[in-house]
Structure 1
């Protein structure tokens, strides 16, 4: 009896252990599903908004991960022309990562085409959210795209620099040639000399009268040839009729 009770207790403990293990596995799977991140895309960024402001506005809807804002090219070009370092930057588009995929979908559906709001004194109060959830999009895709754009930009800059170098070399070569020619002219040398006895033959285009005369001559020749051939044929026919 004792052996049976002990075996029954052992089996009961094993069943409990297996149930606990299955529950833990299911919890881990659910947590992984919940933790699966989701990324939303912002097609427009309000002026003077940076990553900190955006994080502050969106963190109230869910836990955020990484935030990336792409700077506006027009703003970059203006700063390059002015050659001034300014802290205020304008951004064209942005990507925000939520820790939960479900939360990212809900936030995109809730906020898209709605007013940012908040405090009335805020400079972003009247702007409208333009948010879209990106299905099956991961942060690595964004990093790959940025790396590709950076490589393309570098290649374009190289080609432009090489083109500028070629133009500068060509210009300097022409400048050197012009200086040499000026020196020769200063010494009294002639740049181009023609012989007095040399004759230049120029072929002019034929006139219409000349073209018509040539055509008439050709027609006359062909007419004589045709008449001669006709006479020969008639003679042969006559001889054949006699001897037949």
Structure 2
């Protein structure tokens, strides 16, 4: 429905929209505004979610890098060298000082010389007189252990003339696929064998002493019987 209004200035009538037409126009405007708002929302990025995703990716990358570094450190293998001849006056501290110049050293073991008899009793309280026969040195780097053997083997331990090791030569060998656990197992085995040997020797000595004591008792008993036998005929004659 359209209404006509007459004005004095203009001869033509002005048409006004009805209420129904105005409602339709308003609904169309609201729809277009809603579409524009949706488009704007779709265009604006979600910065918070993106930042969280970036942080997660960075944490994952750092974790992978740390895992790789730990794997590298775990894969680092140690090397062990064997020294077949230890010169006199050489001990663990001096050996560390000499070989520590070539690389970082881990564990060191020197086999002491086995002394028997009076020498062991005399040198029991004198630790500086202990002489070592052989030794094992563990390097933190396997590469250093491999390189040091051809570098020092059959060479002078010290080039100074006043040194105690001037006339001594290195006699060493790299032990491939050898671990410190193998050395401890060997030492435990040797200790067990030594203990078993001592036990057998002690048991054998006990058997010998018991056998000797039994024979001694028997001989004394026989002597007593012989004395009684000698005395008995004399007693019988005296009674007769």
TM-score by length of 1: 0.66
CA contact under 8 A between 1:79 and 1:85: conserved in structure 2?
no
Structure 2 CA distance for aligned equivalents of residues 84 and 6 of structure 1: 77
**Which residue is equivalent to 1:124?**
165
Task: Say which SS state the counterpart of residue 3 (structure 1) adopts.
Answer: coil
Of 109, 120, 124, the residue aligned with 1:80 is 120
Deviations 1:66-112 (A, max 9, x none): 11111112x35554354742212011111111111111111122112
Mapping of 1:145-224 within 5 angstroms? 145-189=186-230
Q: Which runs of 5+ in 1 are unaligned?
A: 191-244
Structure 1 CA distance for aligned equivalents of residues 88 and 161 of structure 2: 16
Task: Say which SS state the counterpart of residue 132 (structure 1) adopts.
Answer: strand
1:6 to 1:165, Cα distance in 2 relative to 1, 3 A: closer
**Which residue is equivalent to 1:203?**
none
1:97 to 1:78, Cα distance in 2 relative to 1, 3 A: farther
Task: Say which SS state the counterpart of residue 85 (structure 1) adopts.
Answer: coil
Deviations 1:2-31 (A, max 9, x none): 529988887777666655554444433333
1:9 to 1:78, Cα distance in 2 relative to 1, 3 A: same
Superposed displacement of residue 33, structure 1:
3.6
Aligned length: 188
Task: Say which SS state the counterpart of residue 45 (structure 2) adopts.
Answer: helix
Mapping of 1:34-53 within 5 angstroms? 34=76, 36-53=77-94
Structure 1 CA distance for aligned equivalents of residues 117 and 155 of structure 2: 31
Quote the RMSD (CA, aligned, Å).
2.8
Q: Which runs of 5+ in 2 are unaligned?
A: 1-42, 232-240
**Which residue is equivalent to 1:70?**
111
